[in-house]
Structure 1
């Protein structure tokens, strides 16, 4: 048995080890390749990535044995972490006074030769070792030792990358829960606010009807303002709800459909008037995708092309093409255009181009953010090209599904 060896900074060292969240995790190819390479370079029987825990040494990777851990008080690696800045090289444990009181075995294999490189984190704590062992006396060449040192540094880098990935995963889980809470909040708020708003609109019309002979022009304008504001608030609530419910659209299964049929459904929903001229894609291409998500994208883009258009005759042109991996779409209108300094932020949530629409209302900056979110979830991307007072073109792609 090896006498118990405890570093003077043991509590801090153990805290650093625990913070990695790597103890008792599954084997990973990246670590196993390192121990296999260490055995090959040093021509040894056993190679380990050993982490020295409070009362055991646990092997993140092992090459040459099958056990996952051994007691710390029978661990050469626990001795190696005492001096983080230098390797522990033992040519023959039987001739070393520190370890020759009794034979050292791993799976009944006698450990005669040992070389361990401490795995030192960025704060200087030795978490364990990358070590090689053999059942006969050996020596490592300078190049072999340099290679073992380089591999040990790669192990530490992998530890840090694993921790960052774990931290990111935890953050993503928190964000997912928060988004779920926000979606539920938006749903509840929309339900609770829509009915009062509907009552305000109805009551406004009723009061105007009852008091029509008693109201002057200014009073009627106030009633109209109340009604218009209520409709604006209702639209805002709908847009917020659409944004947070866009995640659920992605869960729909892909289906095949003709693009122009989908676009004509949207035209009917938007109740387009005679002064709107829409050109559909040539050939009426067949699309296989998430139909409801793509419908929401086109509904927003076409709706914006109509709302933000100051021309007497509104013209919208929609084009489609594809390659082996993606569908490509282009929506162009002859509308107001987007100021150049707003082009880079137009897809940000609650960001607008600071222009009023055809009816004199200002947007809320939710629609295009929802569009971008949906397109990204469909595996694509979107960009905008615009000339003020002339035209705006939205180009986007979505990934094909098979």
Structure 2
């Protein structure tokens, strides 16, 4: 039986692109060979793949062989057949196999039935086959079972190909993300110093030329300074977002510390005025986790409670619970609230809900995305509940590292 060289080249390329030859045994394939041997009541069952010069077994039962030469392969005939199943009741009476060493040798392939494994383009990559050492035929139900299971092998091949593509895409995305992180880091650091110089220069200009500047000139300088601070804040948030993986994975940041002390440090950093009341957790409890990451998370959430608040008296309630598997935190405020239809979007990068904060500044939509990313990296989750005009509550968890903690 002759094969069109072009078709054979296409078939070989399809087989190699699957990237499954010479891979380790897999339970999913072995289960199919065991099941088909049981259904067909044969001592041998194989998932066989045919390349340029050999037959290789992805899965096998009833033989110690890993494959054979292509020229002796029964499956090589099966993949060239137009039949759904190539069945040979007694190979000793078939002129194609009478001199085949597999018939007369130790293998004694007397009975053979193989279903070609065709990909979506019709390329027969190999077969699911059963073998017996004595003459016989399959019943219709056994043939049906063989075909059904051959279809399952094809689906496993398709899944293998999809997973291979996903891994390749994941690797590429990781590479691109690292490039973007490095780019953001370099650009951000390079911009920080010129911005700092601009802010200092603006202050010098105001001090030195205040007597000759009219009100409009002073306003221009104030607006320029304000914009410089906003850009600096934006850059800082971008850096934090792209460095969040490094922050959460840094084992040197794991330490035992008191929750009360952490919150007190954060409040001191935020320089909160008399127009704000902050309630601390009732209990002062030591926890063991990534202090730097938790500080960043709480800084952002408490900072938002301060910025997005329209009340004359800002009220922020911080609570904490130590559970069996998690640390659970609550940050509740009496601020402007978040519209219900926007609550799912707030954790998306660059998503902005409020037009301006308490001081009239526009947000950049980076902070909450970074918060969610850090919490996820720490094995936790975050959710929000809010009522417009009344306030917002953020609840988040961080997984406890019990062994290290105890």
1: CA distance, partners of 2:296 / 2:65: 55
Corresponding residue of 2:127: 129
2: CA distance, partners of 1:259 / 1:91: 78
Moved more, 320-329 or 218-227: 320-329
With over 3 angstroms needed to count, the CA separation of the structure-2 counterparts of 1:266 and 1:65, relative to structure 1, is farther
Residue of 107, 110, 132 corresponding to 1:109 = 107
Corresponding residue of 1:219: 217
With over 3 angstroms needed to count, the CA separation of the structure-2 counterparts of 1:107 and 1:245, relative to structure 1, is farther
1:97-176 to structure 2, matched below 5 A, reads: 97-104=95-102, 108-176=106-174
Deviations 1:59-94 (A, max 9, x none): 211222333332211111111111355111111111
1:20-99 to structure 2, matched below 5 A, reads: 20-83=18-81, 85-99=83-97
Do the aligned partners of 1:277 and 1:316 also contact (CA within 8 Å) in 2?
A: yes
**2:378 aligned with 1:352:** no
1: CA distance, partners of 2:226 / 2:82: 73
Corresponding residue of 1:198: 196
1: CA distance, partners of 2:36 / 2:294: 52
Corresponding residue of 2:392: 392
Aligned length: 400
TM-score between the two structures when normalised by the length of structure 1: 0.93
2: CA distance, partners of 1:386 / 1:84: 65
Do the aligned partners of 2:92 and 2:103 also contact (CA within 8 Å) in 1?
A: no
1: CA distance, partners of 2:314 / 2:225: 27
Corresponding residue of 2:12: 14
Moved more, 352-361 or 37-46: 37-46
Deviations 1:229-273 (A, max 9, x none): 111100000000001001112212344433333222222222222
Moved more, 283-292 or 347-356: 283-292
1:261-280 to structure 2, matched below 5 A, reads: 261-280=261-280
1: CA distance, partners of 2:119 / 2:166: 20
Residue of 234, 240, 254 corresponding to 1:242 = 240
Do the aligned partners of 1:80 and 1:87 also contact (CA within 8 Å) in 2?
A: yes
With over 3 angstroms needed to count, the CA separation of the structure-2 counterparts of 1:285 and 1:153, relative to structure 1, is farther
Corresponding residue of 2:259: 259
Do the aligned partners of 1:65 and 1:107 also contact (CA within 8 Å) in 2?
A: no
With over 3 angstroms needed to count, the CA separation of the structure-2 counterparts of 1:386 and 1:233, relative to structure 1, is same
1:373-392 to structure 2, matched below 5 A, reads: 373-392=373-392
1: CA distance, partners of 2:4 / 2:126: 13
1: CA distance, partners of 2:258 / 2:105: 66
2: CA distance, partners of 1:186 / 1:34: 50
**Secondary structure, aligned partner of 1:152:** helix
1: CA distance, partners of 2:301 / 2:104: 67
Do the aligned partners of 2:72 and 2:100 also contact (CA within 8 Å) in 1?
A: no
Do the aligned partners of 1:84 and 1:118 also contact (CA within 8 Å) in 2?
A: no
Do the aligned partners of 2:97 and 2:103 also contact (CA within 8 Å) in 1?
A: no
Task: Provide the aligned C-alpha RMSD in A.
Answer: 2.1
Corresponding residue of 1:301: 301
Residue of 174, 177, 202 corresponding to 2:175 = 177
1: CA distance, partners of 2:211 / 2:103: 104
Deviations 1:83-132 (A, max 9, x none): 35511111111111221133316993221111111112223222111111
2: CA distance, partners of 1:84 / 1:295: 68
2: CA distance, partners of 1:48 / 1:245: 51
Deviations 1:4-25 (A, max 9, x none): 7668732332232222221222
2: CA distance, partners of 1:328 / 1:132: 58
**Secondary structure, aligned partner of 1:139:** coil
**Secondary structure, aligned partner of 1:24:** coil
- How far does residue 392 in structure 1 lie from its aligned partner after superposition? 0.9
Corresponding residue of 1:325: 325
With over 3 angstroms needed to count, the CA separation of the structure-2 counterparts of 1:113 and 1:260, relative to structure 1, is farther
With over 3 angstroms needed to count, the CA separation of the structure-2 counterparts of 1:16 and 1:278, relative to structure 1, is same
- How far does residue 56 in structure 1 lie from its aligned partner after superposition? 1.7
2: CA distance, partners of 1:109 / 1:179: 54
1: CA distance, partners of 2:223 / 2:28: 66
